[in-house]
Amino acid sequence: MLVVQKFGGSSVANAERVRNVASIIADTYRAGNDVVVVVSAQGDTTDDLIEKAAEINPRASKRELDMLMTAGEQMSASLLAMALKAMGLPAISLLGWQIGMQTDSNYGNARIKKIDSERLNMELSRRNIIIVAGFQGINKYDDITTLGRGGSDTTAVAIAATLKADLCQIFTDVDGVYTADPRKVTGAKKLDVITYDEMLELATLGAQVLHNRSVEMAKKYNVNMEVCSSLERVPGTKVKEVATTMEKMLIRGVAKDNNVARVTIVGIADVPGMAYKIFSVLSQAKINVDIILQSIGRDGSKDIVFTVSADQKDEVVEALKDVECLQSALEVNVDTDVTKLSIVGAGMESHPGVASQMFEALFSNNINIQMIATSEIKISVLIDKKDADRAVQAVHDIFFDK
């Protein structure tokens, strides 16, 4: 079996942890598998480098920042190869350019175009364990690029897709994907399996286990992923196209997202094209709008309510000033004391009762619902931030504690 394993920065933060990671890799290799490992920079290396750059040039070019940052993964990759060799195993570290990790030229947030599998296949044919420096690639000018947030996960999935690996394991400091945040919700259960789409919805909702980009790529190339812990040797959560235990579980998880702002525009003229004008301006300002609610027109005016990421609330207010026809609107309110609570599950599509169960749980706990949005595999509601934790527990109880 060919296995790609990815280890994040905290998993290789010091010599002891590097040795721990090496022992996980060693077990996989000794079980007869071919192994390609993708590794992030050690612990705080990236932050330290950013600080060094800021001291010298607070507005450093992204090209030079990428040159600087990628040294971090170079160091961790070579150290991990050394640790494996100390255990008597054949290992070789390789950088982005050495495995032909071709990207576009968007420094700091580059997209992968292709990987030349030649070097990887040659090293595998020699039964070498390959340690790839994650997060990095090169563009057509042979300059070094980085892949942005979640870049090492994406590196791992891209390599798994290129080599048609049997499994791509993402090791983190949690041991899998849970039905809710296990630190906060009583009775949260680890999932054995989850579909790509469910994982995507949960990642968006702040489950923070996998970055969306890697899951999207895994879905596109049908790469079997597994989220596992680098600290405990227990089975993790598999991420794949079809989750076979689906029938038994209506929903996969309950998640909340506190990074939400609700924007209310009161008293817009009730004429055609208003929504178009507002949302095209926001789109031009690169603001992602999530839930949208429009009141029915009355007395020649209507209200529009929508949610955006709380980080972008000031940009929203700024952008709305450019919408001429809004000058006559009565009021623009921004409220960040809200939370988006969502349940995700591919099973809900065929079970119409799911939404009402969720609403029942909230109602019986006296929690007011401000907005509702649904997709085929997700139901989201906007509630008061102060009710958030209570709401997550109540909704989780109704689906998982019965």
Give the count of residues interacting with a copy of itself (CB under 8 A). 39
One of 31, 86, 325, 330 touching a copy of itself (CB under 8 A)? 86
Query: Does position 40 bind a copy of itself by CB under 8 A?
Result: no
Q: Which is nearer to a copy of itself, 42 or 380 (CB)?
A: 42
- Binding piece for a copy of itself, criterion CB under 8 A, among 89-97, 175-183, 283-291, 327-335: 89-97
3-state secondary structure of 174: coil
Shortest Cβ distance from residue 136 to a copy of itself (Å)? 11
- Binding piece for a copy of itself, criterion CB under 8 A, among 86-94, 235-243, 283-291, 320-328: 86-94
DSSP category for residue 204: I
Using CB under 8 A, which residues numbered 45 to 64 contact a copy of itself?
Answer: 49, 52-53, 55-57, 59-61, 63-64
One of 83, 278, 338, 358 touching a copy of itself (CB under 8 A)? 83
Neighbours of 241 (CB within 10 A): 12
Which candidate, 322, 312, 326, 319, places its Cα nearest to that of 265?
A: 326
Query: Does position 68 bind a copy of itself by CB under 8 A?
Result: yes
- CB-based contacts of 279, cutoff 8 Å, min separation 6: 289, 292
One of 21, 65, 147, 287 touching a copy of itself (CB under 8 A)? 65
CA atoms of 314 and 125, how far apart (whole Å): 55
Using CB under 8 A, which residues numbered 16 to 35 contact a copy of itself?
Answer: 18-19
- Binding piece for a copy of itself, criterion CB under 8 A, among 74-82, 278-286, 297-305, 322-330: 74-82
CA atoms of 222 and 218, how far apart (whole Å): 5
Which candidate, 159, 252, 253, 170, places its Cα nearest to that of 211?
A: 170
Quick note: the x/- pattern for a copy of itself over 95-134, rule CB under 8 A, is x-xx--------------------x---------------
Shortest Cβ distance from residue 116 to a copy of itself (Å)? 11
Shortest Cβ distance from residue 164 to a copy of itself (Å)? 24
- Binding piece for a copy of itself, criterion CB under 8 A, among 141-149, 224-232, 280-288, 290-298: 141-149
Shortest Cβ distance from residue 79 to a copy of itself (Å)? 5
Q: Which is nearer to a copy of itself, 61 or 186 (CB)?
A: 61
Alpha helix ranges (H) inside 103-226:
118-125, 151-163, 196-202, 212-221
- CB-based contacts of 159, cutoff 8 Å, min separation 6: 4, 36, 38, 99, 115, 120, 132, 165
Shortest Cβ distance from residue 50 to a copy of itself (Å)? 12
Q: Helices H, strands E: what count in the chain? A: 11, 20
Neighbours of 47 (CB within 10 A): 12
Shortest Cβ distance from residue 163 to a copy of itself (Å)? 19
Q: Which is nearer to a copy of itself, 107 or 400 (CB)?
A: 107
Query: Does position 294 bind a copy of itself by CB under 8 A?
Result: no
3-state secondary structure of 381: strand
- Binding piece for a copy of itself, criterion CB under 8 A, among 80-88, 190-198, 261-269, 276-284: 80-88
Query: Does position 75 bind a copy of itself by CB under 8 A?
Result: yes
Q: Which is nearer to a copy of itself, 97 or 221 (CB)?
A: 97
CA atoms of 95 and 141, how far apart (whole Å): 16
Tell me, rounded to whole angstroms, the distance of Cα 270 from its chain centroid: 39
- Inter-residue contact 293 to 264 (CB < 8 Å): no
- Inter-residue contact 263 to 334 (CB < 8 Å): yes
**34 Rama class: left (phi>0) / alpha (psi -120 to 50) / beta:** beta
Shortest Cβ distance from residue 146 to a copy of itself (Å)? 12
CA atoms of 25 and 82, how far apart (whole Å): 13
CA atoms of 300 and 225, how far apart (whole Å): 53
Residue 254, both tokens: 């309950």
Shortest Cβ distance from residue 145 to a copy of itself (Å)? 13
One of 32, 125, 142, 402 touching a copy of itself (CB under 8 A)? 142
Which residues of the shown chain bind a copy of itself in the complex (CB under 8 A)? 15, 18-19, 49, 52-53, 55-57, 59-61, 63-65, 67-68, 70-72, 74-75, 77-79, 81-83, 85-86, 92-93, 95, 97-98, 119, 142-144
